[in-house]
Amino acid sequence: MRLGGLNNCLFGFAETGAIPEKGMVINMKDIVVIGAGPAGLTAAIYGIRAGYQVTVLEENIYGGQVASTPTVENYPGIESITGVDFSISLYNQATALGAEILFEKLESCDLKGEVKKLQTANGAIEARAVIIANGAKRAKLGCEGEERLTGRGVSYCATCDGAFYKGKEVAIVGGGNTALEDALFLSNNCSAVHLIHRRDQFRGAPILQESVKKRENIVIHYNAVPRAITGENAVEAIVLDSTVGGESETIPVSGVFVAIGTKPENERYKDQLPLTDGGYFDVGEDCTTPLPGVYVAGDSRRKPLRQIVTATADGAVAATMAAGYLNQQ
């Protein structure tokens, strides 16, 4: 696992030269991509291949959530790869083509004009087109052991990691459609699936609830919340507290899947772009927003499946749409 390249990028710019003074306008960009996850880096690759100069803004590390994923085994054409190596490969491909990566935090933006204006901690940037690929964060349980055992039995993606638990006993926490769908998915490979929900009834679709209740190897635990996830080097059990005054319960499991939702960070765009009730960009498969020259890609938009493959697909679509827009200018 090659960590050097990923970690080095935390401490400055990647081949971008001197840091400009705050308030200084950096030269006009063709396309600015906000976010260097799979969607953003793919958008950069497609934007450059379309003949345009692309700058990517990233406030943390490139790769997004996949950078902290131990193993990726569901990306077409790649049998198995670590999340870090996948991220490095995407980054290297984008920069080799000529993408400019600025490790700066976006502080504000005005996307409504023909020229898009973005303010970072280090200066002002103007762009002809903008692609927002800022992703979404997985909601966490906040219980003891969750952080320590993330990647060692604690997962936030059943479709990504479920295959590792074939024939094993696992737990999944949540009560919405995602949790119910994940429980059904896991039950196809796992010996037993403990579905844990804090209320006395699920919030998910009735048809999913019925399907879950019919599966013999899905055990439902209503009115229960995780107090701790235990294990020395990997998950060994989950400890549940009752929400109605019952006794605590310890369930031996090899994996804990958290499916209590995701949280997009789209608040700064609410006055410029349409959002769903859940805060996601209310934008369809063409990734096009109501603002000319502005596109969104990846987990931050409404979509039925949030995976690496759908993020990269969005990045390709968004960049192609942006290139088409610029071609007409």
Q: Indicate which residues carry an active-site annotation.
A: 157, 160-161
Q: Encoding tokens for residue 140?
A: 């966490």
Contacts of 257 by beta carbon, 8 Å cutoff, 6+ apart = 155, 156, 157, 158, 161, 162, 170, 171, 172, 173, 182, 186
CB–CB of 41/90 below 8 Å? yes
Instruction: Using only the alpha carbons of the chain, give its radius of gyration.
Output: 21
What's the rounded Cα separation, in Å, for the pair 224 and 210?
20
> How far is C-alpha 24 from the chain's CA centre?
32
What's the rounded Cα separation, in Å, for the pair 124 and 147?
36
Contacts of 273 by beta carbon, 8 Å cutoff, 6+ apart = 111, 266, 281, 283, 289, 290, 291, 294, 296
State the Cα torsion 183-184-190-194 to the nearest 10°: 30
What's the rounded Cα separation, in Å, for the pair 23 and 264?
28
DSSP secondary structure letters along 69-82: -S-B--STT-S-B-
Residue in 240, 238, 242 with CA at minimum distance from that of residue 146: 238
